[in-house]
Structure 1
């Protein structure tokens, strides 16, 4: 992991960061089902899944989110922390054998009116498969220290 100190003032709207890829495996399905307790047949029952519109098992949406966000964790910023996630959408299914990567784009930044010396940064996330299709979209909200109390 890389540590990069990036204060609120350093974030540039429109700046983009791309992760490396990660291929989804059968093991991912089994481990995620075990951790989450989600053994829904769309994910775990091949025969059931054959009768669905997708014709095969689909990845848990929460697994795709977890892996997609995890791919972004290679850069640690000690003056920022996650405030939450908004606007998450599972756009297309992910299958065993798909390779996904994540693209983060700084969508907005605003001083936080309730926390002097802090600002909110929104990273718009897109998890993309090997065909260039967006399979998951989300906004990652960050609270970031300002260099000084003044600014944007």
Structure 2
């Protein structure tokens, strides 16, 4: 997909990423990177005795996968200025090794800045597994250049 600017978005517009299967390596590397070796993630025998019956993938890894899938879409490549953060993020179902997930991104709000060179875009992230279940859901606003702002910046 090509770069989009503030002017190219409308409230209610949706985008879908391709799928990605979560692997054993993903879980292990994220445990190493984060230092989170909680037995629900790292100990198969312990996890077998939990309500899930097996190890679960770190919830925060799901958030990271969402941002990677967003980058893969390419819609903000070269137009994004700053992400404001994550809000109201919910882990609605567990993630497991072997799950294939994709991102559905919905534009929820548009607010152009005073200069007209940028605008704030409200975005809803839904991480969806292979069963069609939303396993994570949250909001993240982004400051994005307008086409006029990009032209003024020499882009």
- Alignment TM-score, normalising by the size of structure 1: 0.87
Cα distance in 2 for partners of 1:98, 1:118 equals 37
What residue is the counterpart of 1:92 in the other structure? 93
SS at match of 2:84: strand
Cα distance in 2 for partners of 1:63, 1:3 equals 26
Cα distance in 2 for partners of 1:147, 1:95 equals 41
Counterparts of residues 1-150 of structure 1 (less than 5 Å): 3-4=2-3, 6-74=4-72, 75=74, 76-81=76-81, 82-112=83-113, 117-147=117-147
Cα distance in 1 for partners of 2:148, 2:2 equals 21
Compare 82-91 and 23-32 and name the one that shifted more. 82-91
Cα distance in 1 for partners of 2:148, 2:24 equals 49
Instruction: Kindly indicate which of the two structures has a greater share of residues assigned to strand.
Output: 1
Q: How many residues of Structure 1 are paired with residues of Structure 2 in the alignment?
A: 146
Distance apart, 1:84 and its partner CA: 1.9
Gaps of 5+ in 1: none
User: Is the 1:87–1:139 Cα contact (8 Å) retained in structure 2?
Assistant: yes
Instruction: Kindly indicate which of the two structures has a greater share of residues assigned to helix.
Output: 2
The root-mean-square deviation of aligned C-alpha atoms, in Å, is 1.8
User: Is the 2:109–2:122 Cα contact (8 Å) retained in structure 1?
Assistant: yes
- Alignment TM-score, normalising by the size of structure 2: 0.86
User: Is the 1:29–1:43 Cα contact (8 Å) retained in structure 2?
Assistant: yes
User: Is the 2:116–2:148 Cα contact (8 Å) retained in structure 1?
Assistant: no
